[in-house]
Structure 1
Amino acid sequence: MWTKHHRQRKLGRLIVPAITIAFLSYFGYHSVHGAYGLEATEEFERQRVARADELADLTQKRKALERQVELLSDGSLEHDILDEKARYQLNLSRSDEIVIFNSYFH
């Protein structure tokens, strides 16, 4: 009766752990540094906060413009607003006035 004995190779026992380590290393690296990883998530959050601040600023400017339009178009024209707009557009002032330039109408 013939029997074959196979000698166990030490290399064979290391293949599965090596593949597992490579697999976990690859996905671990990309979970931190990848396009949707932790660093990208932090950058997205910084952009969200910056854009929320920009939105609040633009909302405030829009409300100011809406208030100006309301004063000009409610049927009874406010004379001081009309005078202020005309002076600004025509770049005119009286000799007894002090002019302070403000970007209010831009």
Structure 2
Amino acid sequence: MYTRQRRQSPLRLLWLPLATAAFVGYFGYHAYSGVYGVPALKRMQGEVVELKTRLDNLREQRAVLEKRVSYLKPDSLDADILDIEARTSLNLVRPDEVVISFGAVQHSRDKSLD
């Protein structure tokens, strides 16, 4: 019967630390440059600035719309403002009115004029 003698290899002692270093290096690289890494963080910070600017613009538009709506509330209703808003929204004129149009198409309620 033969017994085989093996020499002690230095790699036998190093394979676990090398595998661990490769494992940590792989995940460290992807943590730094992956989907949520440093470049993505800078991109997201730029998006935050852009979205805050957009939010401010939307808030300004909302304030303008709320002011226009406040004119139409029953306690502050003005007939002239109501007439102007209705004509603008519906894009209609009466047959006895003369309108000078600067690009907007006006429609008449009377279909016989067409």
After superposition, the C-alpha distances for 1:52-72 in whole angstroms (9 at most, x for unaligned) are 222112211111111011122
* Number of residue-to-residue matches in the alignment: 96
Structure number with greater CO (CA < 8 Å, separation at least 6) is 2
User: Hey, what's the Cα distance between the residues in 1 that align with 2:35 and 2:91?
Assistant: 53
After superposition, the C-alpha distances for 1:79-98 in whole angstroms (9 at most, x for unaligned) are 44222212213323542545
Match of 1:21 in 2: 21
Q: What residue identity is the alignment partner of 1:78?
A: D
After superposition, the C-alpha distances for 1:33-55 in whole angstroms (9 at most, x for unaligned) are 33432233233323323322221
Q: TM-score with structure 1 length normalisation?
A: 0.64
User: Hey, what's the Cα distance between the residues in 1 that align with 2:54 and 2:63?
Assistant: 14
Q: Say which SS state the counterpart of residue 95 (structure 1) adopts.
A: coil
- 1:28-39 paired onto structure 2 within 5 Å: 28-39=28-39
Of stretches 53-62 and 39-48 in structure 1, the one that deviates more from structure 2 is 39-48
Report the CA distance between 1:100 and its aligned residue: 6.4
Contact 2:70 2:76 in 1 (8 A): no
**Root-mean-square deviation over aligned CA pairs:** 2.9
Report the CA distance between 1:14 and its aligned residue: 3.3
Q: Say which SS state the counterpart of residue 11 (structure 1) adopts.
A: helix
Report % sequence identity: 38
Q: TM-score with structure 2 length normalisation?
A: 0.60
User: Hey, what's the Cα distance between the residues in 2 that align with 1:40 and 1:31?
Assistant: 11
